[in-house]
Chain A
Amino acid sequence: MAEVEETLKRIQSQNGVQGIIIVNTEGIPIKTTLDNASTVQYAGLIHQLVMKARSTVRDIDPQNDLTFLRVRSKKNEIMIAPDKDYFLIVIQNPSD
């Protein structure tokens, strides 16, 4: 528990970070720093995106796997770090 908190704190301390969400494999958020509605929305949408991205990478080369996914938009950047059981979503506002 404490480790998780510590991780979150470290990430949160970077400048421009707007929110962090930890989601399990089914897309259900476990821990978040945003409000419930946004969390649920992000988790649901991004979970699908990650599944798609991962399957794409593995289709091309079955021995390959997705390690990181960054979605950059006009207003902010969403970073997704997938793992075997969970994945971590970080939303950052770029400084410029």
Chain B
Amino acid sequence: MPPKKPKSGKSSAGSKGKGKKIQSPAARDWELSNQDHPEDIFPMVLTSATQELFDCQADEDVTGESPYKLLEKDDIIQDIKTRAAVSDFSPVKQIVLDYPEDELLLVYDRDFTYGQSFYLVLTPEAKDRILNPPKPETPEVFEKEVVKTPEPKPWISLGSDKEIDEEAFKESREKLLYKFSRVRRKFGVPVCFSDRNTADAKDDYLECASYQDSRFSIKQMQRDCGMQAVPRLQSSSAQTQWKFQKNIFTQYTPRELSVEEKENILQLESLKNFCNSVTPRVLQALQQEGIMNVFFDDWKALGTAADDGDWAGKVSEGLMLYQAFTDQKYTKDKKICSINWHPTIYGVIAVALTEKKEEQLNKSVVRASFILFYTFSDPSNPQLLLECPDDIFAFEFCPSDPNIIVGGCINGQVVLWDISAHVTRLQGTQPGKKVSVNTDACDFHQDLDDNKENKTPIVHYCAVSALESSHKAPITDVQWLPTTFEVTRMGLPVENMYNISAQVVTCSPDCTIMFWDVRVSSLVSHSASERRPIMDQKTPYSVPDTFKHLDRTWKPLFRVSLPKIDTSGEYAPLKFNLEHYTCNEANENGDSSKVIPDYSQLRLPSAKTLKALEDVNTKLYIGTEDGEIIYTDWKLGKDDSGRLQSAKPLHCFSIHHWLVNTVQRSPFFKDIILTAGSWNFAIWKEGVMDGPIILSAISEQVCTVGCWSLSRPAVFFIGKEDGSIEVWNLLEKTNEPVQIHSHVTNAKITCIKPWAASSKQHFLAVTDDIGMVRVFEIPKTLYVPSRSESLNVKKYFELEEDRLKDFLRREELWEKEKEAEELKKRRTEPDKPVISLVENEEVNVKEYNDYLMLEESVLKGMGLWQAPADTQDN
């Protein structure tokens, strides 16, 4: 086996071989000669038999890495002898015989560099060379040069000494010496030298003037001249120009004249003249101003409301149907009792469905009651369902947090929902927004079907009031207290520290009004710890626990009862209306920061720490079942025994003859209230205790609902039983509606709610008895207020008030006059009325007696006279 060769050697040989393969004809390697293989190797082919014999099988014994095989000379000779001409070694027989050494090198030429697969190395020197290749030059390896100090070496002249010799200055000849002497006698006498021009004497000199030889001229092509680059130094300076001098700050005081100077000037004649001359002009100008305003543009001020320039084409005057919402599954055989627009999300309406009339007695077929949320983008499927324990008659969104909804049930309980988990779903259906609707499985619960992505989520209610402390009759109206004030347990209004709405007022025909608070109160926390384990079991999972503290234990803060004014008994309220107290103090920091508080963390503040607000108007307007409008105070007063009791109502008017279904304050005037019920409606002014300032005529249809327009102070809408909507405009016509949209729907209209979605879109949602919601778009004429409409309407109301007062006064006067007349009549003829009575009596008796006698005589004449059995008294 050939010993292992250093890899470098092989690689170099191999690489050299490779190089040669590519450029074999032209390479001038020191190995190569004119042949394509050097003389001392011989390419040959070895058959596989030979290979086996010599143990040099290709790719087995010899490979690309170890291509060398040393063969014994004797073996080769043996092989030649045995196989003679067939042997592969026969061409090299002579060489092998002459080979001086005993071993020959056979190299496996894998790459066929020399044309065959093997080659035999013929000379020992070549063999040595191949097997032990000389150490290759490794030019890459640097030896570290040791830095040595240079040694002085003898100077080798390179020709520069000649130049120096040429340039050096040497004496070319001996110095000449001239000796001058004078005669002795002139010794010490000053010498006088003078000059003599050589040109004066003619032959004193010979000159050889130079002249320009015309035969040739040498032009100097090159001239050596010394140069030195000298940097040109220049020193310069720059300073920017302050072109625009601008004062950054100026501090000044005005020049003033001292008092004496002023006095002096005032005395001056010129000032007097000035005043005299100037006064007429000024007076004229001032008076001009008083006469008329020259800059007033009459044309422009003429029509701002009527024609607004940018209306193109036809403009509808009436309400246009925008969309209709209905859902077959949930609204079948149900009527809608209450509707609300979502206060912040565009295009979302919530409707409360209740069973129609008599069906509520039929308990065997009880269907779950829901509040449906519709959005504009999907009119036939509700987006969200709120599950209610029973039918809901009234519900409201919380003004500070639109995710909290409070509702009043038909069984008298108050229910709370928290829809914050589903708000994205509602918002995702907004136009233009591409919020991915995230309906995770965690929000579904108790669904019998599979949790499909498109199933409407049902939100269970968070909290329900305690049954024993709720109303005993259906709750017909629910309102949130505004963010400006709060109420304590004692019934006193106090300031609202956090500017959030956390209290609810409910009313019900069981003759009470209750105030509730949704926050955790400190008193409840003691009992809550006991109740908590029970509550945890019963509360289903995935219900938001915002109001966990209230569930089933919620009690109202206090109750207001409504005793009747004249008689005993109480009023049964259906709808009520509070005045929204606007706090005009400076602590309105809540306006800018719209931080919605977490309702589960709210705590009821201790009543002592809050400041009582004195000027809150604590009076309510209430509409009752019997058609009365009551004006009462909900502040509890103390009666004789020291207990808190509700005061008697201040006023009661029986204007409507049947159920009152609307008591609504105008959004523009704090003291104007619209009430509707039975066959008419009325407008009241708070403070005017004599009656409504406007009372409409009795109409043929029952007015089922009324609501003010949100943008025009003089416009309001009345819904009727036959499904028509009347639009009233107090500034145009006061005795009849401006527009009547008859047959908006086939059923009775149950609810109307307007909404201002944007400055260009105003909607009116109308619901009816058969479960349909219709959204109308209010035309521009009806929502753009006319110029100074608010002022005009105010004036109109004042007029009406005056008229009412005047009317009442006149009535009184008439009464008085009538009485006076009666009295006068009685005095002038005092006997007649007395006598006439007695006289009449006598006359009658006399006539009767005459008749009896006549009867007797007649009967006697006929022979039928019978003695009268009866005893008649006169």
Contacts and interface: CB of A to CB of B under 8 A. Distances in A.
A39 B346 CA distance: 54
A16 B289 contact: yes
Given A11-B286, A40-B256, A1 B281 contact: no
A3 B286 contact: no
B290 A10 contact: no
B270 A85 contact: yes
Interface in B246-297: 254-257, 262, 265-267, 270-272, 274-279, 281-283, 285-287, 289-290, 293, 295-296
Interface in A1-51: 1, 3-4, 7, 10-11, 14-17, 22, 24, 26-31, 40, 43-44
A67 interface: yes
A14 B286 contact: yes
A11 B279 contact: yes
A68 B286 contact: no
Given A28-B257, A31-B266, A83 B274 contact: yes
B289 A92 contact: yes
A28 B256 CA distance: 6
Nearest to A77: B289
A66 to B, nearest CB: 12
B266 A4 contact: yes
A86 B279 CA distance: 13
Given A28-B256, A81-B281, A86-B271, A92 B266 contact: no
Given A1-B266, A24-B265, A30-B262, A88 B278 contact: yes
Contacts of B283: 10-11, 14
Contact of A4 (B257, B271, B285, B289): B271
A16 B290 CA distance: 8
A63 B810 CA distance: 74
B252 to A, nearest CB: 9
A90 B266 contact: no
B788 to A, nearest CB: 14
B278 A83 contact: yes
A40 B254 contact: yes
Nearest to B295: A72
Contacts of A77: 289
Given A3-B272, A7-B275, A44 B254 contact: yes
A79 interface: yes
Interface residues of A, number: 38
Contact of A81 (B262, B267, B278, B289): B278
Contacts of A40: 254, 256
B270 A3 contact: no
A14 B290 contact: yes
Given A28-B256, A31-B262, A83 B277 contact: yes
B294 to A, nearest CB: 9
A70 B294 CA distance: 13
Contacts of A81: 278, 281-282
A88 B257 CA distance: 17
Contacts of B295: 72
Contacts of A15: 290
B285 A79 contact: yes
A44 B253 CA distance: 11
Given A10-B279, A30-B257, A83-B274, A92 B286 contact: yes
A85 B273 CA distance: 10
B289 to A, nearest CB: 5
Contact of A68 (B262, B272, B279, B281): B281
Interface centre among B266, B271, B281, B296, by most A CB within 10 Å? Answer: B271
Contacts of A1: 266-267
B275 A3 contact: yes
Nearest to A3: B272
Given A28-B256, A83-B277, A96 B293 contact: yes
A85 to B, nearest CB: 5
B250 to A, nearest CB: 13
Given A30-B257, A85-B274, A96 B296 contact: yes
B285 A70 contact: yes
Contacts of B254: 28, 40, 43-44
Nearest to A14: B286
Contact of B266 (A16, A17, A30, A96): A30
A95 to B, nearest CB: 6
A7 B257 CA distance: 21
Contacts of B255: 26-28
A30 B295 CA distance: 32
A7 B271 CA distance: 11
Given A1-B267, A72-B295, A96-B293, A79 B256 contact: no
Contacts of B275: 3-4, 7, 88
Nearest to B278: A81
Contacts of B272: 3-4
Interface string A70-95: 10100001010101111010101011
B706 to A, nearest CB: 38
Contacts of B270: 85-86
B289 A30 contact: no
Interface in B278-319: 278-279, 281-283, 285-287, 289-290, 293, 295-296
A68 B279 CA distance: 12
B277 A68 contact: no
Nearest to A6: B275
Contacts of B289: 16, 77, 92, 94-95
A79 B277 CA distance: 15
B287 A14 contact: yes
Contact of B286 (A4, A22, A31, A90): A90
A94 B282 CA distance: 14
Contact of A17 (B267, B276, B279, B286): B286
A92 B289 CA distance: 9
A7 B279 CA distance: 7
Interface centre among B254, B279, B287, B289, by most A CB within 10 Å? Answer: B289
B282 A88 contact: yes
A34 to B, nearest CB: 14
A29 B256 CA distance: 7
A96 B266 CA distance: 35
A14 B89 CA distance: 145
A93 to B, nearest CB: 9
A67 B280 CA distance: 12
A24 B265 CA distance: 10
Interface centre among B279, B281, B287, by most A CB within 10 Å? Answer: B279
Contacts of A27: 255
A11 B290 contact: no
A70 B145 CA distance: 100
A12 to B, nearest CB: 10
Given A30-B257, A40-B254, A94-B293, A86 B286 contact: no
Contacts of A30: 257, 262, 265-266, 271
Contacts of B281: 67-68, 81
A35 to B, nearest CB: 13
Interface of B: 254-257, 262, 265-267, 270-272, 274-279, 281-283, 285-287, 289-290, 293, 295-296
Given A4-B271, A79-B286, A92-B289, 8 more contacts: A27-B255, A29-B256, A40-B254, A72-B295, A83-B277, A86-B271, A92-B286, A95-B290
5 contacts: A3-B272, A7-B279, A30-B271, A68-B281, A94-B293
Interface of A: 1, 3-4, 7, 10-11, 14-17, 22, 24, 26-31, 40, 43-44, 67-68, 70, 72, 77, 79, 81, 83-86, 88, 90, 92, 94-96
Interchain residue pairs A-B with the least CB separation, the first 5: A14-B286, A7-B275, A40-B254, A81-B278, A83-B274
